[in-house]
Amino acid sequence: MLDLDGVVWLSGEPIRGAGDAVGLLRGAGARVIFVSNNSSPTVKNLLARLGVAGIRADADDILTSGQAAAAMLQPGATALVVGDDGVMEALAARGVHARRAADEAAVPGGRVDAVVVGYTERFDYTVLRRAADAVRAGARLIGTNEDATLPTPNGPLPGAGAILAAVVTASGVVPEVAGKPHEPLATLVLGRAGRVATVVGDRPSTDGALARRLAAPFALVLSGVTARASDDPDPVPDFVADDLLAVAREATR
C-alpha cells in the first residue's frame, strides 16, 4: 500500500525512481494499491499522474480519503462541500447530493446532512461562514483528513487539516475524520485489498498509524513531509529509506 504525495510524487512531479519501484514490486508478485489522504484530484487525475510517473494502474488500485468520507454517508444524503473535484466525484458516486460551499448558489438556507471538508484553495471567510453555519444547524462535520500540511518540492503548504481546524473552531464541533489513519479508510482498504503486506508512506502520524491499525509493517520514506530519520517519528517505522525505490529494492532482494 503506497501513499502518493511525498512517496510517488511531489505536487504531481514524479519522485525519482517511483515508476521503477512499482515495477520491481509487481515483478515480485505483489499487488500495489495507492491510498491517498488528498481528496482534491479525481481518480482520472490520479491515473494520469501515475502514468506520467511511468506507472500503469486501474481505478480499482486507487483509494482516497474522499471516497472514505463518501462511504460515511448514505445514498440520498445531502452535503455542503469545502473541497475540490475529487471529493465531489466520490460523493456523486455514492449517490450523495452535494454542493460546494464556494459556489454562489450555496447561499444560506436549507439544512444539509453533512459538511464535508477536504483540501481546496477555494477557501475564504464566506466559505468558512457557510460551513460553520451548516454545522451549527445540525449537519455532521466530516473531514476527509486532518493532515496539517501537503508536501511540495518547495516545502509544505497548508493542508486539509488546517482548513478543517478553521471550521472546527468556528462551529465548536468535533469532526468525524475519514482518511488515514482512521477507521473509514482502513475499512475501505481491507475491503479492496484484504491483508496488507506493507504500508509505505512519508507521514508517521497517518501512514504509520494506519499500518499499525492494519497490523502491517510500516516503511517510512524521507522524500515527503518527514525529511530526516532523526525526526523521532511516532510510531517508529519498521524500515526507513530515502525513497520508494530503496524500499522496493529491499523488499525484493
Catalytic residues: 3, 5
Tell the residue number behind the cell numbers 515480485, with chain if given: 28
Q: Strands 149-150, 157-158: parallel, antiparallel or unpaired by DSSP?
A: antiparallel
Please give the torsion angle defined by the CA atoms of residues 151, 153, 157 and 160, in that order, rounded to the nearest 10 degrees: -40
Residue pair 69/90 in contact (Cβ under 8 Å)? The answer is yes
| Cα 6 to Cα 134, 191, 200, 211, distances in angstroms | 34, 25, 10, 17
Say how far apart CA 251 and CA 197 lie, in whole Å.
11
Say how far apart CA 116 and CA 82 lie, in whole Å.
6
Say how far apart CA 216 and CA 3 lie, in whole Å.
14
- Please state the φ and ψ torsions of residue 100, each to the nearest 5 degrees: -85, 140
